[in-house]
Amino acid sequence: MLKGAFIGGPGAFGFSPSSFAGGDLKITAFAAPGARRERPAFPREAQEYPAIKSLLAAELQLDFAAISLPPGETFGAMLPALERGLHVISSSPPCLSSTEFEALRGAAEKTGKVIFIVQPWEHAAPWLALSKALTRGLAGEINYAEVQALLPGPAPEGGAIAALGWQAASMLLAMVRRPPSAIEARLDSGAAAACHVHFGGADGFLHLACGAHAPRLRAAVAGDKGRIELDGNLLRLDIKDMAPETVELRHELAPGACLPEWLAAEVSDFKKEIEGSRERGSGLRNSRYCVKLLRNASYSASVKSAAIPL
């Protein structure tokens, strides 16, 4: 049994202390800093601390820290947790700059610990089906990809790119499967964001918006052998020498949506990486480039959507 501390409140995709219930990872301590922050339900036997600093300074037998804080606060909790010698599983984004990301990665390498960023949509049937089709090479050499993510309601603090950017950028990177070289971005009063991501030999596009009439997540990728599109619970295949096909899948993939089993699979993968049965570093996936894209999207928008090299 691995013992851990939960730092923060309920996070994106339902990430909370209950995510660790009934498994081999147990929350035995917690800190929920911030007077206005919604407090999740913590295990009765878990010991409460008033602040992150006092929790990490306590003489507790801990193996990991689970962190669910606003973007601007996450790095400040992750780094000292790693330096204390704890594995860390965190909601996204883990930090706001490449400098901070390298500091986190350096601390993890120095202490031999795992950093794992929660991305539960990767366990959804629609995403697994799209990924499998790409791995089989059905689309051929990729030259185009796009992700559209829409949410109803007003934009949160940080705008559409804060609410939707990490998931959309990670999906785009996972479809193109090569490093980005530059980004151009337009941010419209926080409610919408449009980005053109340059890859070697391919173009990627992100369209993110709040205030839509309904949530929607659509991803499309094309290459020299065909096109694959994911729209909710529909997977459309238009492949060379094959009849066009639409496959209806059992679950719909929507922005920020998560089923308990997807999150449970993420926690299980985190444990496997700690134990060594999963490749070390796999919990970071495309995190390095997600951080670069989101950081430089804001910079590009501030200089009249100029292309910013990555």
What digits encode the pLDDT tens for the residues 221-249? 999 999 999 999 999 999 999 999 999 99
Average pLDDT of the segment spanning 215-220: 97
Q: If you search the block for the tokens 């990729």, which residue do you land on?
A: 142
Residues, the chain: 310
Percent of the chain with pLDDT over 70: 98
Q: Are residues 205 and 246 in the same domain?
A: yes
Q: What is the pLDDT of residue 10?
A: 78
Residue 283 inside a domain? The answer is: no
Residue 263 inside a domain? The answer is: no
Residue 44 inside a domain? The answer is: yes
pLDDT bracket for residue 169 (50, 70, 90): very high
What CATH number is given to the structural domain containing 61?
3.40.50.720
Token duo for residue 267:
């926690």
Measured CA distances, 285 to 37, 58, 193 (Å): 29, 32, 23
Distance CA 116, CA 271 (A): 10
Average pLDDT of the segment spanning 166-189: 96
Q: Are residues 114 and 186 in the same domain?
A: no
Residue 273 inside a domain? The answer is: no
Q: Are residues 244 and 168 in the same domain?
A: yes
The whole domain housing 99 covers 2-118
Residue 280 inside a domain? The answer is: no
pLDDT bracket for residue 39 (50, 70, 90): low
Quote the number of domains for the chain. Answer: 2
Q: What is the pLDDT of residue 60?
A: 86
pLDDT surpassing 80 at residue 193: yes
Instruction: Choose between 160 and 14: higher pLDDT.
Output: 160
Q: Are residues 96 and 140 in the same domain?
A: no
Out of 54, 84, 118, pick the residue that ends a domain. Answer: 118
Out of 71, 86, 118, pick the residue that ends a domain. Answer: 118
pLDDT surpassing 90 at residue 42: no
Q: Are residues 96 and 145 in the same domain?
A: no
**What's the whole-number average pLDDT of the chain?**
93
Q: What is the pLDDT of residue 137?
A: 97
Which of 199, 216, 197, 198 is CA-nearest to residue 208? 216
pLDDT bracket for residue 13 (50, 70, 90): confident
108-153 pLDDT, tens digit per residue, is 999 999 999 999 999 999 999 999 999 999 999 999 999 999 999 9
Residue 174 inside a domain? The answer is: yes
Q: Are residues 137 and 237 in the same domain?
A: yes
Q: Are residues 213 and 149 in the same domain?
A: yes
What CATH number is given to the structural domain containing 183?
3.30.360.10
Q: Are residues 48 and 64 in the same domain?
A: yes
Q: Are residues 110 and 139 in the same domain?
A: no
Distance CA 63, CA 84 (A): 10
Q: Are residues 146 and 242 in the same domain?
A: yes
Q: What is the pLDDT of residue 293?
A: 98
Q: Are residues 236 and 160 in the same domain?
A: yes
Residues 263 and 13: beta-carbon distance below 8 Å: yes
pLDDT surpassing 90 at residue 21: no
Rounded to two decimals, the pTM is 0.95
